[in-house]
Chains A and B, each alone.
Chain A
């Protein structure tokens, strides 16, 4: 089984970065009494901002079946769990590609 040293080092660096975020708040909070409100607002926006950048271009460059699948998944996601979003998106894409034609 191949185990690329370069890739392993990148993964380790990613693990260290992740651990840093998981201990960082503890270190900060035990040193300071409160987080400035604007910094907190910025921190709060981090996950939505980052993850949106992974969806939007995929929607933009994807074919019509991908666009439709993501729109359907969006509406499903407002009501139901993640799993159903994946199922719905997958059904849309598969139906389109295999019956309507790619």
Chain B
């Protein structure tokens, strides 16, 4: 491993670690609030390692939803990663299989954005840099989840201190991060209406899959944009500080 690259990665990733710290703490607090133990919350942060979908997971855990539906919802939220790993393919051909395993396991949004930026700059994307960048985000993420959970344990009624508004506001922020995408407005509006209707007439948690399916189908049948969308530029535009 190239030491200089590793250190450079550490430096770049530490900014992301700082920016995502509040969300890690929020995850921990809400996980405990929704009935998870500290070790379970830490286990989730360490194995799933994807902020938005972890939030979705605990939201559904709290609603006593079938396990397969929780997994499916997390899969749906993380589906964007399929595009990331596709776009990253050209830069990591020289990685060993074990390195590729870690590369994909640690592939969060800012990691992807920065890796592509580095690959495009003409410098070789080394595993040392990638791993340095990733590990300085990963370890604090897991630790801060636990810290948030410990603080969350002292919290009595979440409504009294306004904790209940944070999750929807957080998701709203992620939704907004995608607002530059083609068809964003029609997709978001249709999914919103469909999910509210499904919530009302079918019931939770079906509103998630039903509402999303309607929006995704709409995107598939809407007229295609005149220009080929650039996967990487698109992903770079989306939230870069999210884990």
Contacts and interface: CB of A to CB of B under 8 A. Distances in A.
Contacts of B167: 54, 58
A42 interface: yes
A30 B208 contact: no
Interface stretch (B2-10, B85-93, B119-127): B85-93
Interface residues of A, number: 73
A13 B241 CA distance: 26
Contacts of A41: 182-183, 219-220, 222, 224-225, 229
A89 B218 CA distance: 30
A52 B48 contact: no
Given A51-B52, A57-B195, A69-B169, A7 B80 contact: no
Interface string A72-98: 011001100111011001101110010
Given A14-B70, A22-B85, A56 B78 contact: no
A26 B104 contact: yes
Interface string B87-126: 1110010000000100011010000000000000000000
B145 interface: no
B212 A25 contact: no
A100 interface: no
Contacts of B107: 22
Interface of B: 22-23, 26, 36-40, 43-44, 47-50, 52-53, 56-57, 59, 61, 67, 70-89, 92, 100, 104-105, 107, 159-162, 164-179, 181-184, 187-188, 191-196, 199-200, 204, 207-208, 210-222, 224-225, 228-229, 231, 234, 238-239, 241-242
Contact of A53 (B105, B160, B208): B208
A43 B48 contact: no
B47 A12 contact: yes
Given A66-B168, A69-B165, A77-B173, A13 B71 contact: yes
B187 A43 contact: no
B211 A52 contact: yes
Given A54-B168, A57-B196, A48 B175 contact: yes
Contacts of A56: 191-193, 195-196, 211
Contacts of B52: 51
Given A1-B39, A47-B174, A83 B74 contact: no
Contacts of B213: 49
Given A23-B104, A51-B174, A97-B159, A45 B77 contact: no
Contacts of B177: 82
Contact of B219 (A26, A44, A89): A44
Given A54-B59, A55-B172, A86 B83 contact: no
Nearest to B160: A97
A81 B184 CA distance: 19
B212 A53 contact: yes
A73 B173 contact: yes
